[in-house]
Amino acid sequence: MSAPEPPAPIPGARLLFSLDPGVSYLNHGSFGAVPIGVQRAQQRLRDEIESNPLRFFTQGLGDRIIHTRRHVAAFLGADPEGSALVANATTGASIALNSVRLESADEVLLTDHSYGAVAIAARRRCRRAGATVRTVTLPLGATDAEVVSRIRAALRPGRTKLLIVDQLSSATAMTFPVREITAAAHEHDIPVLVDAAHVPGMLPVDVDAIRADFWVGNLHKWAFAPRGTALLAVAPPWRRKIEPPVVSWDQEEGYPQSVEHQGTVDHTPWLAAPTGLFTLRTLGWDEVRAHNAALAAYGQRVVGAALEARELPEPGDTEVSMRIVPLPAGLATTPPEAQALRQHISDKLAVETAVNAWGGRGLLRLSAQVYNRPDEYDRFAERLPQLLHDYRR
């Protein structure tokens, strides 16, 4: 199992970040990393607030938010009038869940790749309504046709009131054919929520073309925005049904203003988001995607070879910049065990990774971003087998 050739670095890209040089940060997918220029743009906004808070919040803030929303929506191919800036994908998912009417005989359908917090939100919403959550199993490496077939077979017309599906799953780094899945659900008038937390900035997307009822993606993972920036896109039939998590002064304006205007919430991450997109375009988005995908594939191969992994799951899209390496049997089989192993790797090797428990097995998730270098994965591959051997003793 030979590793592909790693990509050449993008000149100057590593200097754009303030990451600790003593740590190999191979986990961009969890919380992102904000370029220095974007940090400074956000700090200027904070300084503006503190120079005159009343002026900032009462003179033109709404127009600035609308301008930002339109900028972000255009980047994602979403209707700006049906989009709202929210804190993160989980917030958007909760808003969508609370907009769907549920009764005791109803159900929400998930896949076993769903993000943990979204699954928790679905269970809470169903518990309050007396409804149920049901999960459809999708094997690692399943083809698009198999995914659509399994989900189609799991739908229960009249009972399934919402289908939640990832566009790119977090724990397993698999892409799903969300446009085809949405079409299958709509044959039975079943609404669809697409959790696209990792998509903005990583993968090209045309949100409107997916035709989902709800779509939500984070800008603070792969689009270089400050944390706390995501976009929720809602199809026209649902916009009047959207209720914000907290009622504020713009409640009567309806969606999206009722969701976006939440008093003294910190709006600086949103207003600095266009600077993140500018940074991405300045580096060359095509070049960034190609670099990150190739480097993630390289990292998966060298680490997988070091661990003698028999199979390395493919993500389903060559541009995905997160890859999975199955861990040896018996390691990180539960979420607490996965968290403990991730922390141990961080403490002993000064390497930040993601470790997830999925389907009773441990999965190591490696990310690649423009600040990473092939030698970081090489060193990790050299040291990880011995660490795991000692950890199991």
CATH number for the domain harbouring residue 24: 3.90.1150.10
Same domain, 259 and 315: no
Same domain, 127 and 259: yes
Q: How confident is the model at residue 249 (pLDDT cuts 50, 70, 90)?
A: confident
Closest to 324 in 3D by CA, of 172, 169, 113: 172
Q: What is the pLDDT of residues 16-37, one digit of tens each?
A: 999 999 999 999 999 999 999 9
Across residues 94-107, what is the average pLDDT?
Answer: 96
Indicate whether 1 belongs to any domain. no
Same domain, 144 and 269: yes
What end-to-end distance do the CA atoms of the chain give, in Å? 28
Indicate whether 310 belongs to any domain. yes
Same domain, 219 and 342: no
Indicate whether 29 belongs to any domain. yes
How much of the chain, in percent, has pLDDT values that exceed 70? 99
Same domain, 266 and 289: no
Whole-number average pLDDT of the chain = 96
For residue 129, give Cα distances in angstroms to 107, 213, 374.
10, 21, 50
Same domain, 96 and 216: yes
Indicate whether 4 belongs to any domain. no
pLDDT at position 245: 86
- The upper half-sphere exposure of residue 93, i.e. CA atoms within 13 Å in the direction of its Cβ, equals 29
Q: What is the DSSP string of 84-143?
A: EEES-HHHHHHHHHHHS---TT-EEEEETTS-HHHHHHHHHHHHHHT-EEEEE---TT--
Same domain, 77 and 207: yes
Of 230, 247, 278, the residue that ends a domain is: 278
Own/partner pairs for 347-350, CB < 8 Å, 24+ apart? 348/387, 349/24, 349/380, 349/383, 349/384, 349/387, 350/22, 350/23, 350/24
Same domain, 248 and 375: no
Look at the chain and report how many structural domains it folds into.
Answer: 2
Burial of 386 (0-12, 13-18, 19+ CB in 10 A): exposed
Across residues 309-335, what is the average pLDDT?
Answer: 95
Give the CATH number of the domain where residue 103 resides.
3.40.640.10
Across residues 298-316, what is the average pLDDT?
Answer: 95
Degrees (nearest 5) of the Cα angle 22, 26, 31?
100
Indicate whether 3 belongs to any domain. no
Same domain, 182 and 157: yes
Indicate whether 8 belongs to any domain. no
Q: How confident is the model at residue 2 (pLDDT cuts 50, 70, 90)?
A: low
Across residues 206-217, what is the average pLDDT?
Answer: 98
Closest to 312 in 3D by CA, of 365, 356, 357, 351: 365
User: For residues 152 and 310, which has the higher predicted lDDT (pLDDT)?
Assistant: 152
Neighbours of 347 (CB within 10 A): 9
How much of the chain, in percent, has pLDDT values that exceed 90? 93
| DSSP label of 199 | -
- Statement: residue 228 has pLDDT above 60: yes
Given a contact cutoff of 8 angstroms between Cβ atoms, the answer to whether 355 and 342 are in contact is: yes
Same domain, 213 and 319: no
Same domain, 240 and 201: yes
Given a contact cutoff of 8 angstroms between Cβ atoms, the answer to whether 272 and 279 are in contact is: no
| Helix residue ranges per DSSP H, the chain | 28-31, 36-51, 53-58, 61-76, 89-99, 116-129, 144-154, 178-186, 207-210, 257-260, 268-283, 285-306, 335-349, 374-392
pLDDT at position 3: 65
pLDDT at position 264: 84
Of 231, 256, 278, the residue that ends a domain is: 278
Q: Which two tokens stand for residue 30?
A: 């969890």
Same domain, 265 and 147: yes
pTM: 0.96
Give the integer Cα–Cα distance in Å for 229 and 368: 21
Indicate whether 266 belongs to any domain. yes
Of 262, 278, 294, the residue that ends a domain is: 278
For residue 335, give Cα distances in angstroms to 32, 74, 331, 339.
21, 37, 11, 6
Range of the domain at 306: 13-33+285-392
pLDDT at position 4: 74
